[in-house]
């Protein structure tokens, strides 16, 4: 099977085809599953562990006590909002600074060799970067923060089930491990919903202006999409959870798109270390629009015929599907 064609104007083509995790493989692949779970890179390392560590530091050092959050007050609400502003500014800003300001690795491993758009009327201020930053801070952070504040307030008042790590360590650990699986499932459902033509035109098309995405494109979305996108945290209104689960869920949802939209297959770190971003599949979604709606944990796209692994064969299958749809009679 051949690897897909390079970008028309140049760019990096990964040497291996996109694949999904062996979590739901049949027949089972126990050795492959263990390697995926604990290997590097894998399910835990480095990315899930990184987001879990950020949420743990946030909970221990940067979050008020639950007793403080029993009643709304400007103080703690504003504190959490400012903390979230600083968190995404530092995290996403670091990716953008190294890859797009310093251009520390040039276009090495960059899927599309072009840089972010400037003087482009499709974007606010005619600038892709400032458009993305605007939607991140004006819409994404306030809606993320609103979900966080409301959920923590409900936990503080016992309106939703609360669980402690000391009393139920195994359950709490399993729930932490389950959150990325749930979030990917939730994302797939709402992503297919907002690709429904009326919603796509009114809402999701704003995000898809980023055909050649960068780190700040991750949560550059329409406010309606933000309401849907961050609503996965409602899981913790039903399942017994600890505030750490809430923080991890929301921060994973808010920060991981930076990695997913950075535009590079590998990130080069000092010491000649290169770490894969594992996000070529989502880059193909931004390139072709109607493939790879989900992630690589649960194989929804394989199940529903929208998987694109980067090969010529997958591209031809997409072309056939588009030709058949275009020939279908319209009422």
- 294 pLDDT exceeds 70? yes
- 275 pLDDT exceeds 80? yes
The rounded distance, in Å, linking the Cα atoms of 157 and 25 is 42
Residue 46 has which token pair?
């480095």
Provide mean pLDDT across the span 294-308.
Answer: 94
Confidence tier at 322 by pLDDT (50, 70, 90): confident
The pLDDT of residue 91 is 98
Provide mean pLDDT across the span 253-261.
Answer: 97
The pLDDT of residue 2 is 30
- 3 pLDDT exceeds 50? no
138-142, 237-241, 249-253, 319-323 — which is least confidently predicted? 319-323
Q: Residue 275 — φ and ψ, nearest 5°?
A: -115, 130
Give the chain's mean pLDDT.
94
The pLDDT of residue 327 is 75
Q: Residue 273 — φ and ψ, nearest 5°?
A: -100, 130
The pLDDT of residue 270 is 84
What does pTM read for this prediction? 0.95
Provide mean pLDDT across the span 253-269.
Answer: 96
Structure confidence by residue, pLDDT tens digits, 76-127: 999 999 999 999 999 999 999 999 999 999 999 999 999 999 999 999 999 9
Collect all residues with Cβ–Cβ distance below 8 Å to 45 and sequence separation of at least 6.
Answer: 38, 39
The rounded distance, in Å, linking the Cα atoms of 228 and 12 is 33
- 5 pLDDT exceeds 60? no
Rounded to the nearest 10 degrees, how much is the dihedral formed by the CA atoms of 154, 158, 160, 165? Answer: 100
Q: What does the angle CA 131 – CA 132 – CA 138 come to, to the nearest 5 degrees?
A: 85
The rounded distance, in Å, linking the Cα atoms of 29 and 206 is 40
The rounded distance, in Å, linking the Cα atoms of 190 and 184 is 10
- 290 pLDDT exceeds 70? yes
Q: What percent of the chain has pLDDT over 90?
A: 88
Residue 119 has which token pair?
């003087």
Provide mean pLDDT across the span 291-319.
Answer: 94
Q: Is the alpha carbon torsion for 121, 122, 123, 128 positive or negative?
A: negative
Provide mean pLDDT across the span 142-166.
Answer: 98
Compare 8 and 69 and report the one with higher pLDDT.
69
- 255 pLDDT exceeds 90? yes
């Amino acid at each position: 099977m051949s690897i897909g064609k390079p970008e028309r104007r140049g760019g990096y083509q990964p040497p291996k085809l996109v694949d999904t995790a062996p979590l739901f493989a049949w027949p089972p692949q126990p050795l492959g599953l263990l390697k995926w779970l604990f290997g590097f890179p894998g399910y835990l390392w480095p990315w899930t562990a990184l987001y879990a560590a950020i949420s743990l530091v946030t909970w221990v050092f940067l979050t008020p006590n639950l007793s403080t959050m029993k009643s709304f007050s400007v103080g703690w609400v504003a504190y959490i909002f400012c903390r979230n502003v600083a968190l995404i500014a530092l995290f996403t800003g670091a990716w953008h600074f190294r890859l797009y300001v310093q251009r520390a690795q040039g276009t090495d491993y960059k899927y599309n060799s072009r840089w972010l758009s400037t003087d482009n009327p499709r974007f606010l201020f005619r600038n892709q970067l400032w458009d993305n930053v605007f939607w991140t801070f004006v819409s994404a952070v306030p809606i993320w923060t609103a979900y966080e504040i409301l959920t923590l307030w409900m936990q503080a008042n016992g309106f939703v089930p609360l669980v402690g790590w000391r009393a139920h360590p195994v359950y709490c650990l399993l729930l932490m491990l389950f959150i990325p699986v749930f979030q990917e499932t939730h994302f797939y459902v709402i992503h297919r919903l907002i690709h429904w033509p009326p919603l796509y035109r009114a809402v999701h098309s704003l995000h898809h202006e980023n055909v050649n995405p960068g780190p700040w494109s991750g949560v550059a979305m329409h406010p309606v999409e933000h309401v849907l996108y961050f609503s996965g945290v409602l899981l913790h209104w039903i399942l017994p959870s600890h505030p750490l689960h809430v923080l991890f869920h929301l921060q994973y949802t808010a920060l991981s798109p930076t990695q997913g939209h950075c535009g590079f297959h590998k990130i080069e770190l000092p010491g000649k270390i290169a770490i894969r971003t594992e996000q070529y599949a989502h880059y193909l979604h931004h390139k072709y629009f109607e493939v790879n709606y989900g992630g690589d944990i649960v194989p929804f796209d394989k199940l529903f015929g929208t998987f694109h692994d980067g090969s010529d064969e997958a591209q031809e299958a997409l072309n056939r599907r588009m030709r058949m749809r275009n020939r279908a009679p319209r009422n």
